Structure 1
Amino acid sequence: MFAVAAQTLAITAPVFAMLFLGVALKRLRWIDTPFIDTASSLVFRGTMPTLLFLGVVKADLDTALQPQLLTYFFLATVASFFVAWAWAIWRVPLADRGIYTQGAFRGNNGIIGLALATSMYGDYGLAVGSLLAALVILCYNVLSAVVLAIYTPCVKPGVKPIARSIVKNPLIIGVLLAVPFAYWQIPLPQWLLTSAQYFAQMTLPLALICIGGTLSLASLRRSSGVAIGSSLMKMVWLPLLATLGAWLFGFRGADLAILFIYFACPTAASSFVMARAIGANHELAAAIIVITTLIAVVCINAGLLLLQWGGWI
């Protein structure tokens, strides 16, 4: 289990390095608020949709197509969303409910989850993890768009404005465009895929630098109560409930371990990008990302150790 802890730390350490780089660059005045606004917009409108498109296109459908596993993961993700939202309605101030809910259910499956699944289970982990990530990307973005639209002043209330915000969401468009290419295995020119990969590779470092540039002690203090509550929901309570449900449904071995890893991933950097793009409380979103990434090493390894001790993985 020490090897898993080292792997988790090796994956999360570069995330923190880029966050702190963003803090340093802002302090040095190499980047400023207009740069962060422009870079966040580029990530939201361009690089991240491209990254999601490539992730779906490259998913190995033949190896990883397991209807029971995919169905449970989808239903558990939707249930987690509604649990987090219900708790937010009860305990979180109105203006922060959308950010709280998104931070509590939206995991970094495409980066941290996929890397851990692959390192633990090789080609099988890569195939299953890729398909799970591809499936949940659309779910994450639709549900996040809905809850953020409801609690964001710049989005008018009502079914039509919310539906419009979903249809126009670049992240959702990127996934939907990729589906026919993945399903019918439509080949794309190699030069186009390589160029798209270059463009998509900017996503995570640029998003993390923007998050770091937004962070400050004052913003962390202002967001601390809600951010800690959302982080505990994301890293402790929802993974516990979802993994228990998976165990009750009979999942064991690699499938149960991969499900747990995906449920216990820290909050995705895309939650900050989306929050900033629509004028929501992006400082709270940044704080949740930092806190969940910080405690991911402990929570993920504790969960895997418990599952291994029970003889279930």
Structure 2
Amino acid sequence: MDLLAVFSHTLQVTLPVFAMVFLGIVFKRIGWIDAHFISMASALVFRATMPTLIFLSIVRADLDVALQPGLIVYFLVFSVLSFFLAWGWAIWRCPHAERGVFTQGAFRGNCGIVGLALAANQYGDYGLSLGSILVGGIIIVYNVLAAIILAYYSENTRSGIGAILKHIAKNPLILSVLLAIPFAYFDIDLPEWLLTSGDYFGAMSLPLALVCIGGTLSFTSVKRSSSLALDASLWKVVWLPLIGVLGAFALGYRGRELGILFLFFGSPGAAASFVMAKAAHANAKLAANIIVITTVASLFTLSAGVFILKLVGWI
């Protein structure tokens, strides 16, 4: 495959996703969407449309192909390892009060929206099915570890971990995965009209969520970013994806599996990081800066990563 073909393929993977984010920026700027719309639309995606999309993608999946225990275990184990790597770096480099927010921002990615959208765009139904299973597992890992690290460095949230864990247990995305697996495993047929209606409803998820991400970005925050935000962002979109992909390659992963791992590892910071930091009375501004920087930077790092991996024949 020549360089032009590889470059064209790279743009086909990343540009459609980030074009939706850019539209969100434009719509917010010209007044077509506002904070209230973003809040309501984000809630709709989280509670209804995204669970529907994930449920249907798993129900239609061939679990013999999409359910890959080894890959899922590697993804989750490396995500936990990345948490400890980021935490160790934070202990060495950060003031005590900022270590929790730094660690969360450096290891927690937006897999449920950006990662899933990229996997679906790159690998179609296979990417959506395998990606949905990965999302179900990583949501638990991200929320538990983020709750622990923020509570550890905050005097105000020690009594709040139990409430956070109860919230995780009722997370609609996790519940949709748990509900869908028996349907897929036992090959339970659903009415065609229900599947079609679900397709219409679930199809709103990724475009709407990506537009909302764009609407929440503030480039003023980027200009005021601290060195800590830049450092955490480098961990999120450069160092951890690099280590994760090299580790997966060493274990023998190639092609679609390695590609999906890279897209998930390289996803920008999760918007939930800001919400959790604010709830913990931590430095929410630092959390917001990390989200903005990683979202903008990931357009380039993900594109460069896909280009290089495609060029060397790993994916």
Question: Shorter-chain TM-score category?
Answer: 0.7 to 0.9
What is the CA distance between 1:65 and its match in structure 2? 5.0
Q: Which string of whole-angstrom CA distances, capped at 9 and with x for unpartnered residues, describes residues 235-260 of structure 1? A: 332233223323333x1653674365
* Cα distance in 1 between the residues matched to 2:202 and 2:276: 18
Give, as a single letter, the amino acid of the residue that structure 2 aligns with 1:116: Q
Aligned match of 2:295 in 272, 275, 289? 289
Q: What's the counterpart of residue 132 of structure 2? A: 134
Q: What's the counterpart of residue 191 of structure 2? A: 189
* Cα distance in 2 between the residues matched to 1:272 and 1:262: 17
* Cα distance in 1 between the residues matched to 2:264 and 2:20: 24
What is the CA distance between 1:221 and its match in structure 2? 2.4
What is the CA distance between 1:286 and its match in structure 2? 4.0
| Corresponding position: 1:42 with 2:40 | no
* Cα distance in 2 between the residues matched to 1:36 and 1:231: 24
Distance 1:276 1:30, change over 3 A: farther
Q: What's the counterpart of residue 13 of structure 2? A: 11
- Number of residue pairs aligned between Structure 1 and Structure 2: 298
Conservation of the 8 A alpha-carbon contact between 2:25 and 2:217: yes
* Cα distance in 1 between the residues matched to 2:250 and 2:44: 43
Distance 1:2 1:299, change over 3 A: same
What is the CA distance between 1:167 and its match in structure 2? 0.7
* Cα distance in 1 between the residues matched to 2:186 and 2:146: 33
* Cα distance in 2 between the residues matched to 1:256 and 1:42: 30
Aligned match of 1:87 in 80, 86, 89? 89
* Cα distance in 1 between the residues matched to 2:109 and 2:131: 17
Distance 1:262 1:218, change over 3 A: closer
What is the CA distance between 1:138 and its match in structure 2? 1.9
Give, as a single letter, the amino acid of the residue that structure 2 aligns with 1:248: A
Distance 1:85 1:289, change over 3 A: farther
CA RMSD of aligned residues (A): 3.3
| Corresponding position: 1:75 with 2:80 | no
* Cα distance in 2 between the residues matched to 1:256 and 1:205: 24
* Cα distance in 2 between the residues matched to 1:155 and 1:45: 25
Unaligned 5+ segments in structure 2 are none
Q: What's the counterpart of residue 143 of structure 2? A: 145
Q: What's the counterpart of residue 116 of structure 1? A: 122
Conservation of the 8 A alpha-carbon contact between 1:53 and 1:177: yes
Distance 1:50 1:224, change over 3 A: farther
* Cα distance in 1 between the residues matched to 2:50 and 2:260: 24
Distance 1:248 1:23, change over 3 A: closer
Higher mean Cα deviation, 149-158 or 285-294? Answer: 149-158
| Corresponding position: 1:272 with 2:271 | yes
Question: Percent identity over the alignment?
Answer: 41
Q: Which string of whole-angstrom CA distances, capped at 9 and with x for unpartnered residues, describes residues 268-287 of structure 1? A: 7xx22675588564733244
Q: Give TM-score, length-normalised by structure 2.
A: 0.78
Distance 1:94 1:273, change over 3 A: closer
Distance 1:224 1:208, change over 3 A: farther
| Corresponding position: 1:219 with 2:218 | no
What is the CA distance between 1:114 and its match in structure 2? 4.1
Distance 1:84 1:115, change over 3 A: farther
Give, as a single letter, the amino acid of the residue that structure 2 aligns with 1:134: S
Q: Give TM-score, length-normalised by structure 1.
A: 0.79
